[in-house]
Amino acid sequence: MIRYVKQQIKSLRKNIAKKILDKKYRKSNIFDFDAKNIKSILVFRNDDKIGDMVISTLIFREIKKHYPDIKIIVLCGKNNAEILKYNKNVDLTYIISGNFLRDLPVYINLRRQHISLGIDFYTFGLCFIPMLILRIVAVNVLIGFYKNLYNIYDLSIDKDFFNEHITKRYEYVLKFFKIDNQNLNYDVFTSDLEDNTAKELLKKSTTRYNIVLNPFAASKHRSFSFNKLQSLISDLEKKFDCSIFVICNKKNRKKLHALKNNKIFICSFNSILSSASLIRYSDIIITPDTSIVHIASAFNKKTVALYLDYSKISEKINVIWGPNNKNAISISLNIKSGTENDIENISNNDILNAVEKLL
C-alpha cells in the first residue's frame, strides 16, 4: 500500500512538472539544423555516471575533429568530470553538486551563453528538477532520447536501441552533423602522475601476468561477496602465474585487507584516472562493473566482462553496455530453475577459461 501511494505521488509530481515547465523558452526549428551554423554544444552528463561519460568522449572527439570551431561544453557531476580532466576535445566543463539551489548559478551561467544545441542522452521520464534545469539553461535546440511526450525537446530520437550497443545511439546523433566515417572508440586520457603511480605499483609484481580485478558494481547483485572474491583469487593464483590488483573504494578497503599478500594488492585510489592508468598498464581486467569495462575498452585491454541474465527482459543490458573492444570476452549468467540472478552464480571456471583464452 505504501509503495502504491509513493508511486502515485511520484506520478502526480511528474504530471504537475510537465504541465508547468514543459514549454520551449526559445522558438527554434530542428529542421533548420545545420552543423555549420552551430557555435556551441552542451552535452548533459549531469547524471554523474562515469561509464556514460567514457562513452560520450567519442562524440566530443568526432565533432571536434570535423567542426573544430564548435565550442563543446559538458554539464557533469564531481565523479564523471574526472574523465574529462585531460580531454582537449572539451572546451568547458561545468561541475554540479546535485543540490539544485547550490548549482543554480551554474545553470544561470549556461543560460547566458545562448547555447546553440543541447544533447540529452538521459532516456527516462523527467521529474520536476531535471525539467526545471532544462528550462533555465534554455538551449536553442534540444535533442533527447524517448522524449516524444515532452514539448521542451525539439527532437526526440525514439528508435529502438534496446538490443543494440550503446554506441549506436551516438552514431545516430553524429549523422545529424553529417559525420559518416565515424570512429566509435572511447578516449580516456591520463597524466604522467597517474601513469607513474600505476607503473610503480606494478613494479611490486614478481609474476608473469598482472590482473586487475574490480569486484564491485552499482548494485549488490552485480558485486562479489567477500567469499566469492576470495575463492576467485585463490583459483586464479592456482591456475596462472599472476599478481592480482583488486580495485575498491575506501569503504571496502578495510574489509579486503585480509586478502593482501605479496601477490595480492588492494588498491583504493582517490581518482578514477588512477584506476584507469592501472588498467592501461596491466595484462587483463576482470569486472562486473560497466564503468571499468568502458575504461578498459578505451585502452583495448584484454577484459573479462561479467553480466547478469537479461534474457527475460526486452532491454538487453549485456548487449547495450557490452565492451566496445575486440579484446574482450563477455560472460552472462545463465539462470537455471531456482538460481538467483546474482553475479555470485557465475562460475569461477567460466572466468578462468575466459582468462586463459585471452592470455
State residue 231 phi and psi, 5-degree precision. Answer: -70, -40
* Complete DSSP assignment for 215-243: ---SSGGGS--HHHHHHHHHHHHHHS-EE
* CATH 1.20.1250.20 is held by the domain 193-358: no
Cell of 314: 526486452
**What is the percent of the chain where pLDDT is above 90?**
76
pTM assigned to the model: 0.93
CB under 8 A, 24+ apart: contacts of 191-198: 191/85, 191/86, 191/273, 194/271, 194/273, 194/274, 194/276, 194/277, 195/277, 195/280, 195/281, 197/274, 197/277, 198/274, 198/277, 198/278, 198/280, 198/281
Would you list the domain boundaries of the chain?
A: 12-177, 193-358
Q: State pLDDT tens for residues 95-130.
A: 999 999 999 999 999 999 999 999 999 888 888 899
Q: State pLDDT tens for residues 67-84.
A: 999 999 999 999 999 999
- pLDDT value of position 339: 82
Asked, colleague to colleague, whether 12-177 and 193-358 share their fold, the answer is: yes
* Residues in Cβ contact with 270 at an 8 Å cutoff, skipping those fewer than 6 apart: none
Q: Which residue has the higher pLDDT, 54 or 252?
A: 54
CB 328 within 8 A of CB 351: no
Inform me whether the pLDDT recorded for 6 exceeds 70: no
* Complete DSSP assignment for 145-200: ES-TT-TT-SEEE----TTS-THHHHHHHHGGGT--S----------HHHHHHHHH
Mean pLDDT of the chain: 91
Inform me whether the pLDDT recorded for 14 exceeds 80: no
- pLDDT value of position 23: 72
- pLDDT value of position 126: 84
Inform me whether the pLDDT recorded for 17 exceeds 80: no
CB 223 within 8 A of CB 248: no
C-alpha distances in Å from residue 27, one per residue of 22, 133, 233: 14, 18, 59
Structure confidence at residue 26 as a pLDDT band (50, 70, 90): low
- pLDDT value of position 90: 98
Between CA 298 and CA 187 the distance in angstroms is 6
Top-tier CATH class for 12-177:
alpha beta
- pLDDT value of position 30: 58
Q: State pLDDT tens for residues 254-297.
A: 888 888 899 999 999 989 999 999 999 999 999 999 999 999 99
Inform me whether the pLDDT recorded for 31 exceeds 60: no
CB 186 within 8 A of CB 324: yes
**What is the percent of the chain where pLDDT is above 70?**
91
- pLDDT value of position 250: 80
Q: State pLDDT tens for residues 160-203.
A: 999 999 999 999 999 989 998 899 999 999 999 999 999 999 99
Q: Which residue has the higher pLDDT, 176 or 14?
A: 176
Which of 22-36, 47-61, 96-110, 261-275 shows the lowest per-residue confidence on average (mean pLDDT)? Answer: 22-36
- pLDDT value of position 342: 93
Of 74, 57, 60, 63, whose CA–CA distance to 110 is shortest? Answer: 74
Element of type H or E holding 84: none
Within its chain, how far is the Cα of 3 from the centroid? 30
Strand order in the sheet with 209-213: 264-267, 242-247, 209-213, 284-287, 302-307, 328-332
Sign of CA dihedral 18, 116, 59, 174: positive
Look up cell 552542451; give the residue.
Answer: 42
Between CA 344 and CA 28 the distance in angstroms is 51
